[in-house]
Amino acid sequence: MKIRNFTDIKSFFLENKTLKQTIFKNTFWLVVAEGVSRLLELILLIYLARILGATEYGKFIFVLAFINLFFIFTDFGISQITTREFSQNREKEKEFSNLLSLKLLLCLGTLFLILIGSFFITPDYLIRKVIWIFAAFSVIEGFLLIIFAFFQAKQKMEYQAGTKIFGTTVVTAIGFFIIFNFPSVENLSYGYLFGSLVTLIFVLIFFHFKIFRLALSWNKTIWQKFLALSWPLALATAFVSIYTQIDSVMMGYLKQITQIGWYNAAYKIIGGFFILAGLISMSFFPALSKFFKESKEKLQKIWNYFMELMIFLAIPIVIGGITLAPRIIDFIYDPSFFPSGRETILAFQILIIMTGVAFLSNPFNQILIAANQQKKLLWATFSGSAVNVILNLILIPKYSLYGAAATILVTHLLIFFLVFRFTLKFTPIRPLNLEFFFNFLSAILAVIPMYFVIIQPTIYHLNVILSVLIGTAIYLICFLMYKNLLNKLFISRVQIL
């Protein structure tokens, strides 16, 4: 498709013309939606931590972690199966009214479970009340997933992007208004609920009049069919939810509320890096899926590039993050988060290592899905969540947030080991190739001068953004130089032989 003027640009990004153009358009809008939404959420959470303080912020995170354990029940994998089934056969769209009723029942059931669970997880009435309010917010968010699934089936991700950005913007704007004028966890929960209600009303009106007429039907046979298809996805998502949320829930149960604030203050900074990794994965996954069917040589090439990018990012993030941790925490958060100078900083340093491991795991996770080996990924996440729960039970009572940080690190190391083995055994990818060696060696050699520059007092005590930019520039120059040098040496070696 040739682009000659503004009308062509508009058509390219808003209409489905050709297969390649449609894939690019959909990928673009998903990346934009995910990037903008997560960035706004991250900014809001950081300001929440600074204004509310460690203890109040800890209550907020404890509530979200507890509710997120139940979130899978609002969907149970139905949305992904809906997208797949409707994409393959448009005739099945007539079953959508039955799926809406199923989603409604799932959401109401989840709300009931959260209300019951709140009486067992905390004796604090205020926290319990906030759980109830956020439970309503959570089920609204879960219900919207079925609408997004319909957008994806029609390959109209621009609608999903607009909806998601609108919703996140509304919630973020209300959240900032509340924390600057009426700062409290309870008021914030009402703000989240009001924002989600506004979004729900807007989306339902738009969907009903522009996309598909809304109605409810109650065919149990259709429910059973979709639930039979969706349960493996639900199980995999549940395992991920367990090992990412159970640590905060356990600390809250043990009344380590302030420690939750310290721990998640560090975790939310890490969340910015996971946004980056997620966007990169979304960009590479369509190509991996395409070349898995078409060309094993091109598949290996694109996977190598994916891994190169992950190595290129992971090594400086880990070394730079550990080195500049005190400056980063001091720059972003209020001093109440680290009264003795250790709490959040040490947790952040452990978590930044976990981030590096997660970056390196990403290419393996994506190739397993592209190769239709989701069950292997399910086993990896199951193993990780099982080890996570056991270690948290042992380490959190004794070491609090440090035990939680160490546990999530061990969890990701185990998952990385398993997906590496599964990739070797069940996919055509060969991870330990010459490209991997050159990239890893180049990153290690490049990060050494970066480290020695940023630890110099004149650089270290600059504004942390300047320190990061200086370190990034040095790392980038050295990486490119070493990569080019290693490639030339290898080519010369081959020519001699």
CB neighbourhood size of 119 (10 A)? 10
Q: Is the pLDDT of residue 196 over 80?
A: yes
Q: Is the pLDDT of residue 242 over 90?
A: no
Q: What is the average pLDDT across 265-282?
A: 76
Place of tokens 């203050």: 265
Place of tokens 């599964």: 422
Are 266 and 348 a contacting pair, CB within 8 Å?
Answer: yes
pLDDT digits 0-9 by tens, 89-139: 777 778 888 888 988 898 899 899 999 988 888 888 888 888 999 899 888
* Whole-number pLDDT of residue 18: 61
* Whole-number pLDDT of residue 497: 40
Whole-number mean pLDDT of the chain? Answer: 81
228-237, 315-324, 431-440, range with greatest mean pLDDT: 315-324
pLDDT digits 0-9 by tens, 29-69: 777 777 788 778 778 877 777 787 767 777 887 888 788 87
* Whole-number pLDDT of residue 294: 75
**Alpha-carbon span 58 to 260, nearest angstrom:** 5
* Whole-number pLDDT of residue 49: 73
* Whole-number pLDDT of residue 26: 66
What helix, strand, coil percent values describe the chain, rounded to 5?
Answer: 90, 0, 10
Buried b (16+ CB within 10 A) or exposed e, 245-254: bbbbbbbbee
What is the per-residue DSSP string for 377-402?
HHHHHHHHHHHHHHHHHHHHHHHHHH
